[in-house]
């Protein structure tokens, strides 16, 4: 499968000449499995993904997994081109609330006066499924064959969050997408550690530097590269990507910080491949 990052920024888009190298769009990642594209989060980056899908000759089956419905993870949803077109089938998964299903929450985002087109006017065939931690969802090819599965677990974030693992059953490869999750003070988050066991890649929320976290951001629902590095070691993944960059961290800062983090990781665990996520970065698994 081929992964591509379409948005790597946390909280709010950051368009600026100071953020062009890492990118300013908010969270969106795609996994291309041929006739299927599995999408993780619908931040502003999903607009460019949608345009790329519309350029394809085929109409891939689309499965969209939302970590949660904080704005930076759904803000691009109303601008996802295939959603407006007949012939696309889009199954959306995530977590609703006690009194609102996921479908109702997404419809609410597009209600007037906030947006001029309502969800039920979209042309694609949508389904919405509320899922719970521990659930596994089969990804079926257009021919009906189960080619992958997505398993979810609970992260730690205000209003709740799901972290996801995608297993490509044909290739035997897997990755974990764990964004908007805060580590615990005295123990490793084994919900994520165990989900990532044996995976090839861990993508993890490293929004804050350890110093920023300790002095300013405890309880805000985000983590640091160090905690993701510990999880990567526990799970035995080959590659670790730091994701959901702070909107106040510009390119110059992130490049220097990434070099420093890579140095530290190389000393501690030379076999682990470490990188910071960048918009349009591609990874073949």
Nearer to Zn ion, 228 or 233 (CB): 228
User: Can residue 245 be called a binding residue for Zn ion (CB under 5 A)?
Assistant: no
Nearer to Zn ion, 220 or 234 (CB): 220
Rounded to whole angstroms, how far apart are CA atoms 172 and 40? 20
Alpha-carbon Rg for the chain, nearest whole angstrom, is 18
User: Can residue 10 be called a binding residue for Zn ion (CB under 5 A)?
Assistant: yes
**Residue ranges in 173-212 that form contacts with Zn ion under rule CB under 5 A:** 180
The distance of closest approach from Cβ of residue 28 to Zn ion in the complex, given in angstroms and rounded to an integer, is: 11
β-bridge pairing 146-154 and 273-276: unpaired
CA dihedral for 159, 74, 105, 89, sign (positive or negative): negative
Nearer to Zn ion, 118 or 248 (CB): 248
**Residue ranges in 61-80 that form contacts with Zn ion under rule CB under 5 A:** 70, 72
Here the tokens at position 195 are 């989900």
- Stretch near Zn ion under the rule CB under 5 A, chosen from 8-16, 52-60, 110-118, 125-133: 8-16
Q: What is the DSSP string of 213-265?
A: HHHH-TTSS--BHHHHHHHHHHHT-SEEEEESB-TT--HHHHHHHHHHHHHHH
* Site track 16-55 with Zn ion (rule: CB under 5 A), x = hit: ----------------------------------------
**177: nearest Cα among 190, 164, 168, 195:** 164
The closest residue (CB) to Zn ion is 70
The distance of closest approach from Cβ of residue 221 to Zn ion in the complex, given in angstroms and rounded to an integer, is: 6
**275: nearest Cα among 251, 264, 253, 259:** 259
Binding residues for Zn ion, rule CB under 5 A, total 4
| Binding residues for Zn ion (CB under 5 A) | 10, 70, 72, 180
């Amino acid at each position: 499968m081929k992964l591509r990052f379409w948005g790597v920024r946390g909280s709010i888009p950051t368009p600026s000449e100071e953020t062009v190298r890492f990118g300013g769009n908010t969270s969106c990642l795609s996994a291309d499995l041929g006739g299927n594209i599995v999408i993780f989060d619908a931040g502003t980056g999903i607009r460019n993904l949608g345009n790329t899908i519309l350029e394809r000759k085929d109409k891939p089956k689309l499965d969209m997994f939302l970590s949660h419905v904080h704005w930076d993870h759904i803000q691009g949803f109303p601008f996802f081109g295939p959603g407006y077109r007949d012939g696309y089938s889009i199954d959306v998964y995530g977590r609703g609330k006690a009194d609102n299903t996921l479908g109702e929450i997404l419809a609410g985002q597009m209600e007037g006066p906030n947006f001029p087109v309502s969800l039920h006017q979209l042309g694609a065939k949508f389904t919405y499924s509320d899922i719970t931690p521990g659930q596994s969802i089969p990804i079926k090819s257009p021919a009906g064959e189960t080619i992958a599965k997505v398993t979810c677990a609970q992260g730690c974030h205000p209003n709740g969050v799901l972290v996801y693992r995608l297993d490509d059953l044909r290739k035997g490869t897997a990755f974990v997408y764990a964004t908007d999750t805060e580590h615990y003070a005295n123990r490793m988050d084994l919900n994520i550690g165990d989900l990532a066991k044996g995976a090839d890649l861990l993508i993890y929320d490293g929004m804050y530097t350890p110093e920023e976290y300790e002095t300013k951001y405890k309880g805000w629902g985000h983590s640091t590269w160090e905690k993701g590095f510990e999880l990567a070691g526990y799970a035995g993944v080959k590659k670790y990507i730091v994701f959901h960059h702070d909107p106040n961290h510009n390119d110059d800062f992130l490049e220097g910080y990434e070099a420093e983090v890579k140095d530290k990781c190389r000393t501690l665990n030379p076999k682990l491949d470490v990188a910071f996520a960048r918009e349009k970065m591609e990874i073949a698994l």
